[in-house]
Structure 1
Amino acid sequence: ERFNENGWNYADHFLNPFLEALKTIGVRPRIVKNLASYQTGMFSECSKIACDNADKIREIIERVSGRELSDSWFPWSPLDSSGSLEGVTVTGYDFPLVHFIDSKGNKGSSDITKGEGKLPWRIDWPAKWAWIGVTCEAFGKDHGASGGSYDTGKEICQLFGYDAPQPLVYEWISLKGKGAMSSSSGNTIGPMEALELVPPEILRFLIAESKPSKAIEFDAGMSLVNLADEYERSCARNLTLELSDDSLSRRRKVQLEDLMGAVRLSSIERNSKSDSSNVSFRHLALLAQTKSNDQLVWDSLGLNSSNPPSSILIDRLEKMRTWIESPHFPEEMRIKIINDAPIEMLQNFSDDEKLVLANLTEMLENCSWDLDSIASCIVDSAKSIEKSPRIAYGVSYICLMGAKKGPRLAPILVELNQREIVNQFRLCLENVN
């Protein structure tokens, strides 16, 4: 419907979400649309040079790329009467017209000054360098390979009277376990989908901390947690002070300078302070799963009307809840407290496990509900009968989560209601006797 009624096209369908994602991460490029540029004559001069020098360009492409072009090849691809570039064969050229015959045998002419066609990719690219005035071009390693698009482009660019821009070749971004991202193969995660899960400053940090020649493996699981926590730790450091240490080795100074640059480039707004939430991803993931609403999260963090959460933290919590509901959230961090007794698992408890459960239930009921006290209760419930704390943790996971293992327990329990936890243990105790 949008294609027919709103002038929507194939490029808009893919470009607009990408531009929206760029805006979200603080990148606001100047957009030069190819179709409009052809139609307004911006390519006219380069197109004429290309058509006038068809033999020279053919020689460059065949020599540099090592592939042979067909006899019907021409450095202009006309649009046929149905608006297609496919199946069109050039039959002649008389500036500004390129004459052709389409796949149905219809003859026609394409005016290169009015955008009634386009230059083939290997010529279109250097033509843009020339008329836009590009001085540095970043591109994937496939275009930078020997005999690739850049190698042919830098020679063709000379015909347009322009020196090729400085190249910046970058590695591909891969999805963990799935290989290189590729829109043609469907192996990709959409930019807006990624930004629903990952704070924009963390995505920027992922790119900024990596050298262009290093392949990036995007993982929306545990690697994201580690990356986000690394970013928070880096923002909390006084890197300027660390760099002032005269005893640092040159290698260490370079590492600190690179990290300082990565943190600075991660900021959404230019010259602004680092976009840190001051709450680790791990802790926020825990709170988002143990607190039923945002206000309870803020209460746990000691935030209130006089010390409200920052806009960054509010956004991060929203993304965290989306991430938890997605298939990308790591299972080892998923928290699900049960409210019934896992009868089958309890029936397999040994006498030692039953004793530990009885001890733990009593100790938790009478302990101060803080992190250290809870951790001590778990350990002491087993040590009191001269058994390994591993038994106590196993008993706890079975009673609370219906599983034999899970995430760190004490930080989870301290965020939950003491009475409800003790009641759950008592329910399990009743079902093992």
Structure 2
Amino acid sequence: MHWSDVIAQRLAERGNDHIIATGITPSGEFHIGHLREILTGDMIARAARRAGLNAELVFVVDNADPLRKVYPFLDSSYEEFIGHQLGAIPAPNEDGEPDWNRYEREGWSYGDHFLEPFLMALKQIGVEPRLIPNLTSYREGKFADAAKKACDDPDAIREIIERVSGRELPADWFPWQPIDSKGSLDGLTITGYEYPLVMWTDQYGAKGQSDITKGEGKLPWRLDWPAKWGFNNITCEPFGKDHGAAGGSFATGVEIAAFFGHEPPQSLVYEWISLRGKGAMSSSTGNTVGPIEALRLVPPEILRLLIANSKPNKAIEFDTGMGLVNLADEYERLSSRDFAEELSNDTLSRRQRVQIEDAQAALRLSMVSAGEQAEATSVSFRHLALLAQIKPDDDGIWSSLIESGAISEPTSALSDRLMRMRAWTGSKHFPEEMRIEILSEPDETSLSQLDEEQRKVIHHIATELDAAEWTAEGITLAFKNAATHAEAPMRSMYRACYAMFMGSERGPRLAPILANCVREEVCGLAKSCAAQLS
């Protein structure tokens, strides 16, 4: 059983109607690490619907959370907003300064600024959840019931948190964070409580009162989370391993939810996505690859497969170089498989059948539209990367693929993939080991570094290429014939070829590359190199 089907089965035991929640604080640029949470939720919702359940995906926007610090992408003027709620402060402009004009004109907040591009990426990737802005929930009084129970009996809440988490709360801790005289949640002292008002004194000496029914403040995170489960009717929620640790916020949330009078959701703990060689992704440090950036490079199905094909408890190392190539090729292999035929084999062991069913489910969940059939393009990511570098126009690529018999005509899926491929090959993420540049004229420096045996081969290469059949096989044969005539080993022949055609000592397989280049240009370059060494 695929992991999403396992969770769907557990949900079925709890009833027929389900709300699967995901939630992220919009404190900075969203990155593909955030995709793990929301795609995990989306895949659970799809599996639940496939199992016959009524399931809805919601995205809780934690814009009632405060700005923690002035991040590197913000102007120092944001110092005044530390502690202020993300949905109640202006968004940064392109210089990182508060955009007061748009905030006052449209109410465009800091949280909106970072949420909008993420929602655009989600739409491309087939995820359109119902949004639940947390700040709106506070202001509409949806937290009021939980807040009253907590404020009426703060000792009970304190006991749960201290016992389960194993840490001691400050003596002046109170289960409600009012907004102070300048709009911050930080630095207040609670001086009294009489429902629905929490009285306070702030760090500036101002005194005031906070109405919990109007959301003039918020619950601390360990109370905020279980409170949301109740009034949003959440029955399932995936979350990161930090929340799922022993004594973490889920463990305390389970008991606090019972105190509030409702059940905790079915949980699923997932591991982080890190960038290869750079560690865990972080919006605040800039160690990210954004979803929009990633979708410029690869089709959405490939990013969905990244999540669908990994068990939630397995860490994912996202590699924008060869890792993407391997992932895309895996998608092509899955797309070309006939799972129905494979599963009809009665001799399969239980383990083999589970592996096939898991692969089938991963491919199904990779589709942007649920129920959509995967379309194999019959062109590997590697080969398309090669063509995108040596063919400047798309028509040349289609002609090459049609002549080779790989396709009969370009499909919309293949056209979309080529568009993204050109963006990838032109980006910093494209792996150097796959980068191709065929010379237009001899590279004197590279040729001068060849020994006598390697130079001798070049004359024979020029002659053999001139008469070769212009296919990868024909060019390979020409190389072998040249080495034979020169009485040189193949290593000398290839060393000479890379110097002639790429100005390097080594590189990717040359024959398939040259076969897709203009014959006259390749043969002309070979002859020019031979003439230069005469």
Verify same fold: TM over 0.5: yes
Contact 1:349–1:432 at 8 Å: present in 2 too?
Answer: no
Match in the other structure for 1:398: 499
Note if 1:28 corresponds to 2:128.
yes
Unaligned runs of 5+ in 2: 1-98
The within-5 A match list for 1:162-173 is 162-173=262-273
Cα deviation for residue 151 of structure 1 reads 0.5
Q: Distance in 2 between matches of 1:311 and 1:160?
A: 52
1:129 counterpart letter in structure 2: W
Give CA-to-partner distance per residue, 1:392-430, whole Å, 9 cap, x none. 111111111100111111111111111100111111112
Q: 2:320 aligned to 217, 220, 234, which one?
A: 220
Question: Residues 24, 99 of structure 1: CA spacing in aligned structure 2 closer, same or farther, 3 A cutoff?
Answer: same
Alignment of 1:108-127 (within 5 A): 108-127=208-227
Equivalent pair of 2:296/2:423 in contact (CA under 8 Å): yes
Please tell me whether the aligned partners of residues 380 and 389 of structure 1 are also in contact (alpha carbons under 8 angstroms). Answer: no
Structure 1 residue 386: Cα displacement? 3.4
- Runs of at least 5 residues in structure 1 that lack an aligned partner in the other structure: none
Residue in structure 1 matched with residue 429 of structure 2 by the alignment: 328
Q: 1:230 is matched with which residue: 314, 330, 339? A: 330
- 1:15 maps to 2:138: no
**After the TM superposition, which of the residue ranges 269-278 and 156-165 deviates more from structure 2?**
269-278
Q: Which deviates further from its counterpart, 322-331 or 45-54?
A: 45-54
SS in 1 for 2:113: helix
CA–CA separation in structure 1 for the residues paired with 2:244 and 2:189: 30
- 1:61 is aligned to 161
What secondary structure, in the 3-state scheme, does the structure 1 residue paired with 2:244 have? coil
Matched, 1:149 2:149: no
Alignment RMSD: 1.6
Q: 1:365 aligns with which of 436, 444, 466?
A: 466
Matched residue, 2:379: 279
- Which protein has greater RCO, CA pairs closer than 8 Å, 6+ apart? 2
Task: Report Cα offsets for 1:111-139 as digits up to 9, x if no partner.
Answer: 11111111111100000011111111100
Equivalences for residues 121-140 of structure 1 within 5 A: 121-140=221-240
The residue correspondences of 1:202-221 to structure 2 (distance < 5 A) are 202-221=302-321
Of 44, 60, 63, 2:144 maps to 44
What is the match of residue 259 of structure 1? Answer: 359
Distance 1:285 1:258 in 2: 29
Tell me the alpha carbon deviations over residues 75-98 of structure 1, each in whole angstroms, 9 at most, x when there is no partner: 111112322111122111111111
Q: Which deviates more from structure 2 when the two are superposed, residues 177-186 or residues 91-100?
A: 177-186
420, 427, 433: which is aligned to 2:521? 420
* Alignment counterpart, residue 445 of structure 2, candidates 334, 340, 344: 344
Using the size of structure 1 for normalisation, the TM-score is 0.96
Give % identity: 55
What is the alpha-carbon distance in structure 1 between the residues aligned to residue 393 and residue 200 of structure 2?
Answer: 66
Alignment partners' CA distance in 2, 1:295 and 1:239: 34
Structure-to-structure mapping, 1:187-206, within 5 angstroms: 187-206=287-306
1:198 to partner: Cα distance: 1.9
Give the C-alpha shift of residue 196 in structure 1: 1.1
**Of the candidates 192, 202, 213, which is equivalent to residue 102 of structure 1?**
202
SS of the residue corresponding to residue 31 of structure 1 reads: strand
Give the aligned length. 432
Report Cα offsets for 1:351-403 as digits up to 9, x if no partner. Answer: 32122111110111111211210111112211333322222111111111100
Tell me the secondary structure at the aligned position of residue 142 of structure 1: helix
Q: Secondary structure at the match of 2:402?
A: coil
Q: Residues 50 and 57 of structure 1 are in contact (CA less than 8 Å); yes or no, is this contact kept in structure 2?
A: yes
Residues 243 and 76 of structure 1, relative CA distance in 2, 3 Å threshold: same
Partner of 1:313: 414
3-state DSSP class of the match of 1:32? strand
Give runs of aligned pairs for residues 176-187 of structure 1, distance below 5 A. 176-187=276-287
1:97 and 1:295 map into 2 onto residues whose CA distance is: 70
